[in-house]
Chains A and B, each alone.
Chain A
Amino acid sequence: MMPRFYSALKYAAVLIWSAFVLAPFMWALTTSFKTANGVTGGPTYLPWIQYKPSLHGWESLFGGAGGIDIVQPYIDSIIVTVGASIISIVLGTLAAYGLSRFQYRAGFVKNSDIVFFFISQRIMPPIVLAIPFFLMLQFLGLLDTKTGLIIVYIALLLPIAVWIMVDFFDGVPRAVDEMAMLDGCTPFEAFFKVVLPNSLPGILVALMFCLIFGWNDFFFAFTLTFTDTQLLPVAIVALNSSVTPWWSLSASALISVAPLVLIAFFVERLLSRGTLAGAIR
């Protein structure tokens, strides 16, 4: 009897949490088909029965009258996010491997301090960095460009990559690379030929975090661009006028999360196969 009770409890907990997770999306889904009159009459849930559905919210995302075009921002967002993430992963993986395998010492600075330095970059509230970054990109002539944003995003994403990869490499036994070097490999060869192929899961997790944080950054995408480069979150809040258009915002929320959900499926596949074992320690 007891195990069955436990298992019922377990499913109940999972279902309640699922409902909580899903609720905003369901609400956004139904709201995205409303018009002002569907909203002002109080909460309604069922199209046709409770309110008259309209495609206006969705049309406004694809260049319909009274909307904005999110196709170009979508593409720009992908370029910037993927670009910055890949560079961060490359630099971060190398640095993390170094920090995991060698002892660095400069004065009182030790490995753990360097790791903390990387992570600490995320402490600074972004608001303050707006003007310095602005001036820096102005000096480089990179304001309002994708390149400029990629540079800034590297500073935001590199700490995440380093943090995850250091933990990961710490979990890979040193014997692995020592064996390789006994076989005559240089540390580079040992890293690229032996350690790296075995580290793919860790890299993918780090990459996923980089993509999520890069994709969802609003603040820098907002402050460091003018009219030429507009990333997705910026294009979406362009719909947040003084009269909050609940419908188009709801549609945009659903559409912006779509590519990342694909990534979630991918990551879950890796998790289930067990290839992630040891990805995070």
Chain B
Amino acid sequence: MDQPEFRFYKLSFLLPGLLGLLAVILFPLFFTVRVSLSGWSAVSPGLDFDGLANYRALVSDVRFWQSFERLAGMAVGTVLIQYILGFAMALLVWREIRYRRFFRVLFLVPMMTTPVIMSVIWRTILHESLGPANDFLGLFGLGPYPWLTDGSFAMASVMMVEVWQWTPFMFLLLLAGLISLPREPFLAAAIDGAGPVRTFFNVTFPLMAPVSIGAIIIRLIEASKIMDSVYVLTSGGPGTATETAGYYIYIRGLKDFEIGYAAALSVTYLVVMIVLLTVIAKLLVRTFVGRGT
């Protein structure tokens, strides 16, 4: 279909979307880069020229780089958990199970809630004095646990809320992927006498590779922006234990109103993320496809 006479069609499919997006995004993008070279703040609004001052400050901003490390751990951690749980749940309600339609709908619901609001609900659940989490575990003689006041617990709590909210995303993509799988490879495996475990690793998993890669990449992108839950649950505390890059940029940008500096942080963030994601995508393709059929 790449004949020259299709050139017109070729362009008219792609261009409306591409140009539309460029029109909306190009100005903000360049503007951000420009702002990152200025000293725009609460006190001196506007686009003066400050050279690379913001970038120089950023290099030695320990808090930013630490928040980046933390973010990396958190994003990779939550996405992996989401992937495993999402895949498991998709497999469970894929075939023979009663009330599966009910479970399928139920498992989708958390994704449809507004993150800010649900984080507030979670905060009330994890409230160490007034929330049901410790109360419930107390019935089994467990706890009370410092859900939001101990560094590691706070980290785990934030991750749990993220897992709750976004596992459905994985679940839906993987379930739809499973449903659309061809039947033949499974029949062949059955004829070979493969058990469920072997069938999974030799047939299901490799066939699901493309869906998996796409889903993981998208979730990594979204998970990196993690902010609402941090803001509501812990404000980045205790200390800086749960401060992520997104939250740190938010604090510097809109709370402290250091617009110029926050723009520099964001540009750096964008570059690092694009590089990282490209590498991760390549790695994922290699592991999934390399192991596959």
Contacts and interface: CB of A to CB of B under 8 A. Distances in A.
Nearest to A236: B117
Nearest to B176: A280
Contacts, number: 266
Interface string B250-291: 100110000100110010011001100110000000000000
Contact of B129 (A42, A252, A267, A277): A42
A20 interface: yes
A158 B17 contact: yes
B110 interface: yes
- The majority secondary structure among interface residues of chain B is helix
A256 B249 contact: no
B58 to A, nearest CB: 14
A271 B180 CA distance: 10
Contacts of B278: 116
Nearest to A13: B92
A198 interface: no
A interface SS class: helix
A129 B114 contact: no
A54 B25 CA distance: 47
A104 interface: yes
Interface in B184-212: 210-211
Nearest to B18: A95
B37 interface: no
A177 B89 CA distance: 36
Nearest to B269: A125
26 contacts: A13-B88, A17-B89, A24-B118, A27-B132, A98-B10, A98-B14, A102-B10, A122-B221, A126-B225, A128-B249, A128-B253, A128-B262, A154-B21, A158-B17, A177-B1, A178-B1, A187-B6, A191-B13, A215-B114, A216-B112, A216-B114, A216-B115, A253-B113, A264-B112, A268-B105, A271-B175
7 closest Cβ pairs, A-B complex: A98-B13, A95-B17, A132-B28, A260-B112, A128-B266, A91-B17, A98-B14
Interface of A: 10-11, 13-14, 17-18, 20-25, 27-28, 31, 39-40, 42-43, 45, 91-92, 94-95, 97-99, 101-104, 114, 116, 118-133, 135-136, 151-152, 154-155, 158-159, 162-163, 167, 171, 174, 177-178, 181, 186-188, 191, 205, 212, 215-216, 218, 232-233, 236-237, 240, 244, 246, 249-250, 252-253, 256-257, 260-261, 263-265, 267-268, 271-272, 274, 276-281
